[in-house]
Every structure is written in structure tokens, then in C-alpha cells.
Amino acid sequence: MTAVVPLRRPGFARIRTAGAPLYVLCLACVVLLVLAALLAPWLVPADPNAVDLGDALAGPSVGHPFGIDASGRDTLSRLLVGARTSLLGPLGVVAFSTLAGVVVGAVAGWRGGWWDSVLSRSTELVFAFPGMLLAILIVSVYGEGLMAPVLALAVAYLPYVSRLTRSLVLAERERPYLSASLVQGQSGLQVCLRHVLPNIAPVVLAQSTINFGYALIDLAGLSFLGLGVPALTPDWGRMVFDGQTAVQEGYPLSAILPCAAIVLTVVAFNVVGEHWADRVARRDR
């Protein structure tokens, strides 16, 4: 009897919702955060940029559940609208770094030889420049805005994705199904696109989910330093910076809430990403 070698192992089918309570809770938090960001214009109780200095630092009330900051702006409205900027920036970092990193890592791992040497050495050079330092340098040249720090951090995160992809591709090249595919007449490019990349996608997706949390922290830090979004744009990192005055005056709520939002988001994305990575690792054993 001739053994049948599968041409393709399960890809995204490996990622399934498990019964782990912490994972389910964090996944629900991620879904709620995304929905809050998408529906922010319809959920805000007031204009996030409307200023009423007469009510500055007012505590929670029916009209303002989370109180008012030192500039007289509704804290809940700024949190909801700020979620859009705070989540959109890391999404851009992850999208750019993952796309470019997968291409670089796949070519290096699949072609090998001098392709591998050149691409690997090039990505290692990026490690010499810390992501935050590179972002600060680029923002100082191009000024405030979201695009400059996003592109800078995407370049900084690219080597992590490319090295992971390269190691996964090297492991996939030893699988029996690749030999079967080549024997059937498929070209190397076809095998890579149809089988290798879909098979490594769950691991790359899990790592990208973890990178999302780190990118959020980096971008929030830049906004806190005044190097991210413009001053009037609602953003969690900028809200922490603006809340410093209120903390000194004994009204910490406007600074604590955006900090809590950042921590909750980072923890939720990290738990989800690590859970996916663990499930894939157990499935491959």
C-alpha cells in the first residue's frame, strides 16, 4: 500500500477558541475595544474637544461619567475617540512590519545562499537602532503626526517578524509534503505561496498580535513625550500627559483612566497572542 503524503497541513484551522477563562475574557476585551473604537462617534456623550473651563476637574456625574479633565473636556468622550488613534497606530505598525517581514524572511529562508546572507545581515543592522530612538529621530525631522512614528516603528519591528518567518520557512522545507508537491510538478514559488506561507501564518499572526501591544506602548510613549499625534487630537498617551496637572492638584482620574486603558489593551492582546502561539506549538508536537 502506498502512503499518501498530504500536500498541505492545517493552517488557520489550528487556531480555535479554547475554554481557557483568561483567554476568553481577554478575547472579549479585544472585541469590545475594537467595537468601541469603531462606534466612538455614536457612543460619545459630548464633543471630545469641547472646552468648559468652568467645570474643569469636575468629578463623575450623570452627564460626564468619568469626569472632566483640567482643560474642561469630557474624559469618557476623549477615551472613546482616543481609542481610534491609539489602536490605528499599532495596527499600521503591525501591518507594515508583518507584510515586509514575511516577504524578507520567506525569501531568505526559501532561497538560502547569498539571498539569506544579504537579507539576514541587513535586518541585523536594524537592531543597532532602538525603535523609539529611530521614531524620535524621524518625528523630529518630519514633525508631529501619526505616519512618521508608525513607519519608524514598522522598520524597527520588521527584523523580529523576518527572523521568525525565516526560521519557520527553514523548518517547513524539511516537511515531506514539500517534496511531494515538487514531484507533482509545482514550482518553488507555487509551493511557497500555496503551502508554506499558509502553514506558517498562524504563528506569524500570533506574534503580530503580541507585537501590537508593544507597538501601542511605544506610540503612547511618543504621544506622552509630545512627539506623536497633535496636541488637540484625542489619544491615550497624550491624555496621560495632559493629566499630569490634574494629578498634581489631587484629581488623578483623567490620567489614571487612559493608563488603565493602555494596560488593559496591552494585556488583552498579549494574552490572546500567546494563547494562539501556545496552541500552535502544542499542535505541532
Give the CA angle between residues 27, 28, 29 to the nearest 5°: 90
Run of H or E residues at 238: helix 236-242
Confidence bin at 174 (pLDDT 50/70/90): confident
pLDDT, tens only, 11-32 = 444 444 445 788 999 999 999 9
DSSP letter, residue 73: -
Residue 179: what pLDDT?
Answer: 66
272 pLDDT exceeds 60?
Answer: yes
Radius of gyration of the chain (CA): 23
In this predicted structure, what is the pLDDT of residue 152? 87
Q: Is the separation of the CB atoms in 178 and 172 below 8 Å?
A: yes
Partners of residue 68 on adjacent β-strands: 74
